[in-house]
Amino acid sequence: MKKILIVTGGSGGHVIPSLSIYDILKDNFEVQIATDSRGSKYINKINYNFSLIDVPNLFSSLFLLPYNLIKFCISILKSYKYLKSNKYNTLISTGGYMSLPLTLASNLLNIKTYIFEPNSVIGRTNNLTIRFAQKVICYDKNLKGISKKFLNKLYLINPLLRKEIYEYQKNEKKKLDKQKKILIIGGSQGAKFFDEIISRTIIKLSKIQNISILQQVIDQTSKENIKDLYQKNHIEHELFDFDDKLLIKAANYDLAITRSGASTISELAYLNIPFVAIPFPYAKDDHQYYNAKFYEKNKCCWLIMQKDIDEISFLDLMNKILKNQNEYFFKKKKMIELTKENTWEKNKSKLIELINEN
């Protein structure tokens, strides 16, 4: 039986797809996850077999660069020893600097290596390691940032969602209820903008539309402040920071306002929840913009840049969406068309076929 190591870390955008890969492969192969302390908070310790690997961020501080460089070289040696002693014969990397030492060590050991790229722009670590990867597992045939000489390495699958998402009932409302249910997802980065500007817009919107809110907030302080504001304005609401069951709970919501991490907007599209995408403007290589642009081109969402948002124009947009619903249901129809071929079994079949290639 092949022994597979899935390397992931950092943000939920890296870790959550790795859990889906684990779930797909675990019945056919011996599978383990390696992650860092940041990534471990997204992993249920009961359901997933994982090891913690400490990898320094080389560029966290220019002052510490020489020290971090030494630590990084040591981490490559430790990764080499770890891979060899555990006799892995396949490695799948989801990118991020944490994966680099293990991916480099896998090349030294001639371990078959795959990289997974859910974004529409290839990540920097993946771009460094693509030269010795067997394939790049991705969603977008027009993946940006990749050299033409590596285009033959692209291995397309449908967006890989968590298994429970596939099992959940999609939003099939043919008309909106009197009370409109709005989901707000600020993401793990840049949520302060959502806590402030978007929350104030929601208060104004509540004066002209009957709404209820499910909102991600950045921390406990924001949670208390927004809770107080919404209570004073009699807005029905639920607030949270991180919840891995979020979109399962929110599948009956009508509209989302969201950052455009690949996993989040793929799940929203699959569940038929039209969304207003506001890409995080400081994302590396502007990948959130291109993630959202893919869905905008397919007429599934509204795309707005954060720099172009003010409370008046955003309020007008939200009111227009909820008042004149023709465009809303057109986008919902396009979501259904775009995601109809996306099934757990199809993705499982494609990934197992890839791993079993000689």
- Annotate 109-134 with b (16+ C-beta within 10 A) or e (fewer): eebbbbbbbbbbbbbebbbbbbeebb
Query: What is the average pLDDT across 258-263?
Result: 92
pLDDT interval class at 46 (50, 70, 90)? confident
Query: What is the average pLDDT across 124-130?
Result: 92
> Which of 27-41, 162-176, 220-234, 329-343 has the largest mean confidence?
329-343
Q: What is the pLDDT of residue 93?
A: 96
Q: What is the pLDDT of residue 242?
A: 66
Q: How far apart are CA 292 and CA 298, in angstroms?
A: 10
Q: How far apart are CA 271 and CA 168, in angstroms?
A: 8
- Is the CB of residue 251 less than 8 Å from the CB of residue 273? yes
- DSSP secondary structure letters along 167-213: HSPP---SS--SSEEEEEE--SSSHHHIIIIIHHHHHHHTTTS-EEE
**How confident is the model over 150-205, as pLDDT tens digits?**
999 999 999 999 888 898 888 888 889 999 999 998 876 657 788 888 889 999 99
Dihedral angle over CA of 100, 102, 105, 106, nearest 10: -110
Q: How far apart are CA 184 and CA 218, in angstroms?
A: 12
The larger pLDDT score, comparing residue 41 to residue 312, is at 312
User: Residue 144 above 90 pLDDT?
Assistant: yes
Q: Are strands 275-277 and 301-303 parallel, antiparallel or unpaired?
A: parallel
**At CA 97, angle to CA 94 and CA 98, rounded to 5?**
75
Closest CA to 259 of 295, 231, 224: 295
**How confident is the model over 51-89, as pLDDT tens digits?**
888 776 665 666 766 777 888 888 889 899 999 999 999
Residue type, 101: P
- Arithmetic mean of pLDDT over the chain: 89
Three-state DSSP at 316 gives helix
Q: How far apart are CA 185 and CA 297, in angstroms?
A: 22
pLDDT interval class at 244 (50, 70, 90)? low
Domain coordinates of the chain in residue numbers? 3-161+342-355, 166-339
The CATH architecture annotation of domain 166-339 reads 3-Layer(aba) Sandwich (3.40)
Percent of the chain with pLDDT over 70: 94
Is it true that domain 3-161+342-355 has CATH number 3.40.1390.20?
no
Which pair of tokens denotes residue 70? 């030494």
Q: What is the pLDDT of residue 291?
A: 96
User: Residue 134 above 80 pLDDT?
Assistant: yes
Q: What is the pLDDT of residue 60?
A: 63
- Is the CB of residue 105 less than 8 Å from the CB of residue 83? yes
Domains 3-161+342-355 and 166-339 share a fold: yes
Closest CA to 11 of 140, 125, 154, 101: 125
Q: What is the pLDDT of residue 203?
A: 95
Query: What is the average pLDDT across 42-50?
Result: 86
Q: What is the pLDDT of residue 351?
A: 97
User: Residue 43 above 80 pLDDT?
Assistant: yes
Q: What is the pLDDT of residue 245?
A: 64
**How confident is the model over 261-292, as pLDDT tens digits?**
998 999 999 999 999 999 999 887 899 999 99
For the four alpha carbons of 146, 7, 263 and 271, in that order, the dihedral sign comes to positive
Q: What is the DSSP letter of 280?
A: -
Q: What is the pLDDT of residue 174?
A: 87
Tell whether pTM > 0.75: yes
